[in-house]
Amino acid sequence: MAEPENFLRQPQAPFSFLGQTGLRNRIARRPMTELRQIQRAQHRQRLVVIGNGMAGHRLLEQLVARDDRSQEIHVFGDEPSPAYNRIMLSPLLAGEITPDAIALHDRDWYAANDITLHCDSPVMTIDRERREVVSAEGTRTPYDQLVLATGSRPTKFPLPGSELDGIHGFRTTHDVDTLTRAQEHGEHAVVIGGGLLGLEAAEGLRKRGMSITVVHLGHHLLNRQLDEYAARLLQQELETRGLHFELGTLATAFNDNGQGRVSSVTLKNGHTLKADTVVVAAGITPNAELGRDAGLACGRAIIVDDGMRTSDPSIYALGECCEFETTTYGLVEPIWRQAEVLAARLCGKDARYRDALTATKLKVSGINLYAFGVLDASDEPAVHDDVLTYFDPENGDYRRLILRDNRLIGAVLYGDTAAGPWYFQQSLDSRDLSHCRDALLFGAHDATQRLEEAA
């Protein structure tokens, strides 16, 4: 943690009032930390960050860790508490951890690092002409540089009944509080979406004692991460635990219990599912409106360049609200790299963001899966793809590796996932694995030995 900077909040004589020699003498007598603060104070610019979620908070951590940060920082968040670890909302819902386990930094950390935190304070407008942000209370805060880190929200579907009580997203601590009490309204819950988030919500609610059906448009679960075989293994395991699935279909209406609360969900396949609670976890929509309304170039999200800069040179964006080369984001790994790049840029250094492969995992206890890259071998005649598979039914271990020209371009591991990070690294390194091809499915140890022998 960086040292406190309370010094900066004391009223000071402006430095321009001191002669150069006077200033040098004053500086010479001060310890290094104070010196750095004086240097900063001389060049103080104001950085305003909108959004105190995972991306905004990571950026602050990166800035605090740097010696060359010169800005005074104001952060606006529309949630009531300082940033928390959103990823851990899944184990929190499942009752596996307590709320204090998701805390990141308390308010003292912000104060100690010269960051003014405005919680429960949504920014409503960006006045680019005056370089000010306007909060919901009407307060205007000037900025020299502005960062948008407004994240995204669960996608809503304009279905009949979608405004009924009992229909929730799974995004915030508020959602978890509500879902934790859902059983008070009845035991049946329907989760719309069989992706990572939907399955984590479903398992969390099941662990809270509810009866769950997951509705998923794909014909198998996690169809963006898993091949059909691994998905069936996953489904079998979840069914053994008591979850139910409706696959290859979608919700067409939410039905009213007569008192403004959802009572059932109608599906396109003609089934009607009893539902005292519904969780919609079928995609996210970037919170890009603030940027769009301010006239920033937007596609699905706020468009940024490789320095995370928007179409306005003094405004940056990162995280799920941004779009880089038509890609939008839904996992933290690329966002961490964006935060590092942006922190460097804000401190006047050159750094460039590049998209890279990301691996995914499911946070459901007792289930291990690890996947990255392409799911299917190409059927183009000019492309040389190999698919290697391994299945041990007794232990429930399944592996599927896809190689292009002897380089790993995709993997699905279910059960024993210990080798996942090693496979991932080989893929990132684009390593020629022809010398360990016959040992590749058995993990890092055998494969590495073959590679070393061949070297």
Ligand X SMILES: Cc1cc2nc3c(=O)[nH]c(=O)nc-3n(C[C@H](O)[C@H](O)[C@H](O)COP(=O)(O)OP(=O)(O)OC[C@H]3O[C@@H](n4cnc5c(N)ncnc54)[C@H](O)[C@@H]3O)c2cc1C
Establish if 332 lies at the interface with ligand X (CB under 6 A). Answer: yes
Helix (H) and strand (E) counts for the chain?
12, 25
Nearer to ligand X, 97 or 388 (CB): 97
Please work out the total of residues on this chain that contact ligand X, with binding judged by CB under 6 A: 34
| Interaction between residue 343 and ligand X (CB under 6 A) | no
Which CB, 51 or 373, lies closer to ligand X?
A: 51
Of 172, 219, 170, 166, nearest in space to 189 by CA:
166
- Positive or negative torsion for Cα 292, 297, 302, 308: negative
CA 221 to chain centroid: 20
**Shortest reach from residue 92's CB to ligand X, in Å:** 9
Strands 188-192 and 211-216: parallel
Q: How far apart are CA 441 and CA 126, in angstroms?
A: 53
Q: Which of 49, 50, 401, 440 binds ligand X (CB under 6 A)?
A: 50
Using CB under 6 A as the binding rule, whether residue 56 contacts ligand X is answered as yes
Cα atoms in the 13 Å half-sphere on the side-chain side of 143: 26
Contacts to ligand X from residues 349-408, by CB under 6 A: 363
**Could you say whether residue 122 binds ligand X (CB under 6 A)?**
yes
Work out whether 337 is an interface residue with ligand X (CB under 6 A).
no
**Does the footprint of ligand X cover residue 320 (CB under 6 A)?**
yes
Does position 317 bind ligand X by CB under 6 A? no
Rank residues 78 and 246 by Cβ distance to ligand X and give the closer one. 78
Q: Is 101 in the site for ligand X (CB under 6 A)?
A: no
Would you say 232 and 225 are in contact if contact means Cβ atoms under 8 Å apart? no
CB 307 within 8 A of CB 351: yes
Helix, strand or coil for residue 61?
A: helix
d(CA 149, CA 76) in angstroms, rounded, equals 10
Site for ligand X in 167-196 (CB under 6 A): 170-171
Check residue 52 for interaction with ligand X (CB under 6 A).
yes
Q: Is 90 in the site for ligand X (CB under 6 A)?
A: yes
Q: What binding mask, one character per residue, do residues 210-249 give for ligand X by CB under 6 A, x or -? A: ----------------------------------------
Looking at beta carbons, which residue is closest to ligand X?
53
Q: Backbone phi, then psi, for 86, in 5-degree steps?
A: -60, -35
Binding mask 126-165 for ligand X (x = CB under 6 A): -----------------------xxx--------------
> How many angstroms separate the CA atoms of 417 and 419, rounded?
5
Q: DSSP for 227-265, please give it.
A: -HHHHHHHHHHHHHHT-EEEES--EEEEEE-SSSBEEEE
Check binding of 328 to ligand X (CB under 6 A): no
Stretch that binds ligand X, among 49-57, 208-216, 391-399, 412-420 (CB under 6 A): 49-57
Positive or negative, the CA dihedral 248, 197, 52, 325 is negative
Nearer to ligand X, 332 or 403 (CB): 332
Binding site for ligand X (CB under 6 A): 50-56, 76-79, 86-87, 89-90, 122-123, 149-151, 170-171, 197, 287, 290, 319-321, 330-333, 335, 363
